[in-house]
């Protein structure tokens, strides 16, 4: 009789372990698939914030704000990672390397403007007005204007236009690999 009790206890523990393992695996897959998505950084348009080969975690549940780093996909299937500069209903312009939102100066403390040492400094962000660049006065509802932190080498809203909220995959939150680059964004 004692052997049956031990056998029953073993199967009870085993079954409990199997259930917890299944639930934990299902939760991990749901979190990975819907909340925290790993994305590789390709290219150098976000240097010095992000480097080629960095792996970032993207989350999909929080509201997009100015200067968030987001991952989005264009209709051609290309995935980009850029910084949000303009929000829905706003007008964006640059003059003398200064960002203006709706005509008001806005600081960009995250930028490292590594000006080249020569007789004439090269602008980090070339001058433009929103109307001449986009053909409209303001961003539409659910539209965002994005630019890479490495302004001189970034393909961004200045070339492909505003992006729609429906194309945004999420906000880049954390660099987890390589370990030397590990940081919150």
Query: pLDDT of 46-57, one tens digit each?
Result: 888 888 889 898
Strand, helix or coil for residue 47 = coil
Rounded Cα distance between 167 and 79, Å, is 10
Q: How many CA atoms lie within 13 A of 105 on its CB side?
A: 6
Q: Enumerate the H helices of 35-184 as residue ranges.
A: 130-134, 157-160
Strand partners, 63: none
* Cβ proximity of 162 and 143 under 8 Å: yes
- Is residue 58 scored above 80 in pLDDT? yes
For the chain, give every domain's residue range. 1-40, 41-184
Q: Residue for token digits 């209709």?
A: 75
Query: Does 48 sit behind a cis peptide bond, omega within 30 degrees of 0 on the bond before it?
Result: yes
Residue-wise pLDDT tens digits, 107-162: 998 876 554 555 456 778 888 988 888 888 899 999 999 999 988 888 999 999 99
CATH superfamily of 41-184: Umud Fragment, subunit A (2.10.109.10)
> Going by C-beta distance under 8 Å and a sequence separation of 6 or more, which residues neighbour residue 113?
97, 124
- Is residue 28 scored above 60 in pLDDT? yes
pLDDT given at position 165: 93
pLDDT given at position 27: 65
- Is residue 176 scored above 90 in pLDDT? no
Return the active site residues: 45, 82
Q: Residue for token digits 């660099």?
A: 175
Strand, helix or coil for residue 96 = coil
> Going by C-beta distance under 8 Å and a sequence separation of 6 or more, which residues neighbour residue 28?
none
């Amino acid at each position: 009789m004692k052997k049956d009790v031990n056998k029953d206890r073993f199967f009870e523990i085993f079954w409990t372990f199997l259930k917890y393992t299944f639930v934990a695996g299902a939760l991990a897959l749901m979190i990975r698939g819907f909340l925290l998505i790993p994305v590789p950084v390709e290219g150098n348009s976000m240097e010095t914030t992000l480097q080629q080969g960095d792996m970032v975690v993207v989350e999909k549940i929080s509201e997009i704000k100015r200067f968030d780093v987001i991952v989005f996909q264009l209709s051609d299937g290309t995935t980009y990672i850029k910084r949000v500069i303009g929000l829905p209903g706003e007008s964006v312009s640059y003059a003398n390397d200064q960002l203006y939102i709706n005509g008001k100066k806005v600081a960009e403390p995250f930028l490292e403007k590594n000006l080249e040492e020569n007789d004439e400094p090269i602008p980090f962000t070339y001058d433009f007005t929103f109307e001449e660049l986009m053909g409209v006065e303001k961003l539409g509802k659910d539209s965002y204007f994005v630019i890479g932190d490495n302004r001189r080498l970034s393909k961004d809203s200045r070339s492909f236009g505003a992006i729609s909220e429906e194309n945004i995959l999420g906000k880049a939150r954390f660099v987890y690999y390589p370990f030397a680059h590990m940081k919150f964004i």
